[in-house]
């Protein structure tokens, strides 16, 4: 297993092409860039905690391939206990970082790819599963941070990939030879891409035969020749570059995960790292399994982040002298209720997991989707209540530079003082934390990460068993459901 420092060192060995605000970043020092270093720090926690005896049971496990001790972020889930430890670990790390630590996407992609390649090989006589086992074994041995790359730009969403004016709006195989395949297109929104070692590319949707070239899954280094990364902007991100630590809110770990647009221009992938190439019949299965694994996470990671939001709002109330007010207590209790509701769904879909044909365990897909759909709503309520408790100062707080000013600092110190036991600076720190954690990109990620709300609704229609519910109701009412079955 890698230490946090070894993880950082591995990032300096890459030769990436990364642009930010129109400028090419130095590949060797980009992890020190003020807009990127917080994301590196949060990901590094997944390595550092693996060596802490207090968290060993959550952070590490035994490889099902080699029998060696590995970081849990590289494992296959081989039981419901593994699925439960996954979300417990996620909540714990979120409580320590207050943000995203970025390794979950690739991990979920690995578990989905493992089971799908097994079933694909069995049905079609292909040999993708062994290739993926070899790839995942090396992944575990090297303790890579691997990002999952699923979402395509999609262009005109009323058209299929093959009907787009530009075929590159979906990642596709542009050519192939006896050595491997070549990719063109782009992937978007990948959390942690610029501080990963590898990526696992997946199709963005289920495809038909006409779109078989878009049904591709493969692993490749993030610095492979022909790849260009364009790092995205975040709300108030200039605070990281020009302002002090206080104004960043969560200066050490940042906000969410540093997403980017990744462009592929005839990128070569050797056959040994190709795990689907044209088997369109299994593209939808891969997308669905990945999505459900990823939606499982949200009660864990967002539960942990919400724990920090609750704590921060409560401290702000303490510092302002109004924590004992009945309406403040009521709002904090409601935040706790909503957070534990999110957590309950992650626990439930994990506990109800079942083994796949390949042997690794898959979450209950209906409950996983319920959990993620709750996140798209309840996080907004949790954050609204935190802003209510925090007050208008969340939007009007002067800067750290004002506090440090030899001319006006005394006014900031004097007039922003709350309860005398707390310093003005510490009050400002807590107010900024609430502001940063309850606005901007953090909310957008809660809405659209792991799929927008409509994606979960589509899954409900597939998984809810509505016909069985109708039949059960008719039987209780004394109506013979078979009498009307032919009339549907």
Q: Scanning the structure block, which residue is given the tokens 């506990």?
A: 351
Among the residue ranges 125-129, 172-176, 436-440, the one predicted with the least confidence is: 436-440
Does residue 298 sit in the same domain as residue 279?
A: no
Distance CA(43)–CA(5), nearest Å, equals 11
Is residue 487 scored above 80 in pLDDT? no
The values of phi and psi at residue 263, to 5°, are -105, 135
Is residue 480 scored above 70 in pLDDT? yes
pLDDT digits (tens, 9 = 90+) for 409-438: 999 999 999 999 999 999 999 999 999 999
Q: Is 184 helix (H, G, I), strand (E, B) or coil?
A: strand
Is residue 235 scored above 90 in pLDDT? no
Does residue 89 sit in the same domain as residue 154?
A: yes
Q: Scanning the structure block, which residue is given the tokens 């990128």?
A: 267
| 275 belongs to a structural domain | yes
| 486 belongs to a structural domain | no
> Is residue 294 annotated as a catalytic residue, yes or no?
yes
pLDDT digits (tens, 9 = 90+) for 190-218: 999 999 999 999 999 999 999 999 999 99
From start to end of 177-248, where are the E strands? 180-187, 198-201, 216-221, 227-231
Is residue 462 scored above 90 in pLDDT? no
Percentage of the chain surpassing pLDDT 90? 89
Q: Is 97 helix (H, G, I), strand (E, B) or coil?
A: helix
The band of 174, judged by pLDDT with boundaries at 50, 70 and 90, is very high
Structure tokens at 103: 């390794």
pLDDT of residue 385: 97
CB atoms within 10 A of CB 313: 28
pLDDT of residue 488: 62
User: Rg (Cα) of the chain, in Å, rounded?
Assistant: 24
Is residue 242 scored above 90 in pLDDT? no
Q: What is the CATH number of the domain that holds 308?
A: 1.20.140.10
pLDDT digits (tens, 9 = 90+) for 313-323: 999 999 999 99
CB atoms within 10 A of CB 2: 21
Do 296 and 289 meet the contact criterion of CB atoms below 8 Å apart?
no
Query: Full-prediction pTM beyond 0.85?
Result: yes
Does residue 271 sit in the same domain as residue 301?
A: no
> Is residue 55 annotated as a catalytic residue, yes or no?
no
Does residue 130 sit in the same domain as residue 209?
A: yes
Among the residue ranges 197-211, 347-361, 463-477, the one predicted with the least confidence is: 463-477
Does residue 420 sit in the same domain as residue 463?
A: yes
Does residue 360 sit in the same domain as residue 227?
A: no
Does residue 108 sit in the same domain as residue 249?
A: yes
pLDDT of residue 456: 86
pLDDT of residue 403: 96
Q: Give me the chain's average pLDDT, please.
A: 95
State the Cα angle at 467 between 466 and 471, rounded to 5°. 120
449: containing domain: 294-473
> Is residue 210 annotated as a catalytic residue, yes or no?
no
Structure tokens at 125: 């006589």
Does residue 329 sit in the same domain as residue 393?
A: yes
Choice among 100, 217, 218, 349 that is catalytic: 100
Q: What is the CATH number of the domain that holds 229?
A: 2.40.110.10
| 485 belongs to a structural domain | no
Smallest CA-to-CA distance from 446 within 382, 362, 350 is with 382
| 484 belongs to a structural domain | no
Choice among 191, 204, 262, 339 that is catalytic: 191
> Is residue 445 annotated as a catalytic residue, yes or no?
yes
> Is residue 259 annotated as a catalytic residue, yes or no?
yes
Choice among 114, 280, 293, 298 that is catalytic: 298
Does residue 373 sit in the same domain as residue 409?
A: yes
pLDDT digits (tens, 9 = 90+) for 57-85: 999 999 999 999 999 999 999 999 999 99
Is residue 312 scored above 70 in pLDDT? yes
pLDDT of residue 438: 94
Percentage of the chain surpassing pLDDT 70? 99
| 457 belongs to a structural domain | yes
Q: Scanning the structure block, which residue is given the tokens 């799908």?
A: 116
Which of 235, 256, 283 is a domain's end point?
283
pLDDT of residue 443: 77
> Is residue 277 annotated as a catalytic residue, yes or no?
no
**What is the helix (H) or strand (E) element at residue 384, kind and residue range?**
helix 365-390
Q: Which range, 82-96, 233-247, 252-266, 435-449, is most confident?
A: 82-96
Does residue 91 sit in the same domain as residue 235?
A: yes
Does residue 310 sit in the same domain as residue 255?
A: no
Do 384 and 313 meet the contact criterion of CB atoms below 8 Å apart?
no
> Is residue 229 annotated as a catalytic residue, yes or no?
no
β-pairing, 146-149 vs 23-24, is unpaired
Distance CA(8)–CA(452), nearest Å, equals 32
Choice among 33, 77, 129, 294 that is catalytic: 294
Choice among 260, 277, 301, 345 that is catalytic: 301
Distance CA(339)–CA(304), nearest Å, equals 9
> Is residue 191 annotated as a catalytic residue, yes or no?
yes
Number of domain units in the chain: 2
Choice among 288, 400, 435, 445 that is catalytic: 445
Does residue 298 sit in the same domain as residue 423?
A: yes
């Amino acid at each position: 297993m890698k230490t946090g420092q070894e993880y950082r060192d591995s990032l300096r060995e890459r030769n990436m092409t990364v642009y930010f605000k129109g400028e090419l970043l130095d590949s060797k020092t980009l992890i020190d860039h003020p807009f990127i270093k917080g994301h590196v720090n949060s990901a590094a926690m997944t390595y550092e905690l693996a060596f802490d005896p207090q968290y060993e049971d959550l952070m590490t496990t035994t490889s099902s391939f080699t029998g060696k001790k590995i970081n849990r972020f590289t494992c296959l889930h081989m039981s419901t206990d593994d699925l439960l430890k996954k979300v417990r670990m996620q909540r714990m790390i979120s409580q320590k970082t207050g943000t995203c630590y970025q390794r979950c996407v690739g991990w979920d992609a690995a578990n989905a790819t493992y089971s799908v390649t097994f079933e694909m090989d069995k049905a079609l006589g292909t040999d993708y599963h062994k290739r993926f086992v070899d790839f995942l074994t090396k992944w575990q041995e090297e303790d890579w941070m691997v990002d999952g790359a699923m979402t395509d730009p999609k262009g005109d969403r009323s058209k299929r990939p093959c009907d787009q004016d530009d075929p590159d709006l979906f990642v596709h195989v542009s050519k192939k030879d006896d050595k491997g395949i070549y990719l063109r297109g782009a992937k978007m929104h990948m959390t942690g891409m610029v501080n990963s070692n590898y990526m696992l590319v997946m199709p963005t949707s289920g495809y038909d035969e006409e779109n078989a070239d878009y049904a591709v899954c493969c692993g490749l280094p993030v610095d492979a020749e022909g790849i260009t990364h364009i790092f995205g902007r975040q709300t108030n991100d200039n605070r990281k570059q020009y302002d002090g630590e206080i104004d960043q809110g969560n200066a050490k770990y940042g906000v969410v995960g540093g997403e980017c647009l990744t462009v592929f221009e005839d990128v070569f992938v050797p056959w040994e790292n190709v795990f689907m190439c044209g088997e369109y019949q299994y593209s939808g299965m891969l997308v669905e399994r990945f999505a459900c694994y990823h939606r499982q996470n949200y009660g864990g990671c967002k539960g942990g982040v919400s724990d920090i939001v609750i704590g921060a709002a409560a401290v702000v109330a303490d510092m302002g002298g109004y924590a004992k007010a009945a309406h403040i207590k009521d709002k904090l209790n409601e935040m706790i209720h909503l957070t534990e509701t999110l957590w309950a769904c992650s626990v439930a879909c994990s506990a109800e997991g079942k083994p796949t044909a390949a042997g690794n365990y898959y979450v209950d897909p209906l409950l996983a989707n319920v959990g993620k759909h709750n996140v798209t709503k309840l996080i907004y309520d949790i954050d609204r209540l935190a802003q209510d408790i925090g007050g208008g100062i969340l939007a009007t707080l002067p800067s750290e530079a004002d506090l440090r000013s030899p001319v006006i600092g005394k006014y900031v110190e004097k007039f922003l003082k709350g309860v005398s036991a707390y310093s003005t600076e510490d009050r400002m720190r807590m107010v900024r934390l609430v502001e940063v954690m309850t606005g901007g990109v953090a909310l957008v990620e809660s809405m659209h990460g792991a799929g927008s709300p409509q994606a979960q609704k589509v899954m409900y229609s597939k998984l809810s068993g509505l016909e069985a519910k109708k039949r059960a109701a008719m039987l209780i009412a004394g109506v013979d459901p078979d009498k009307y079955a032919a009339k549907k």
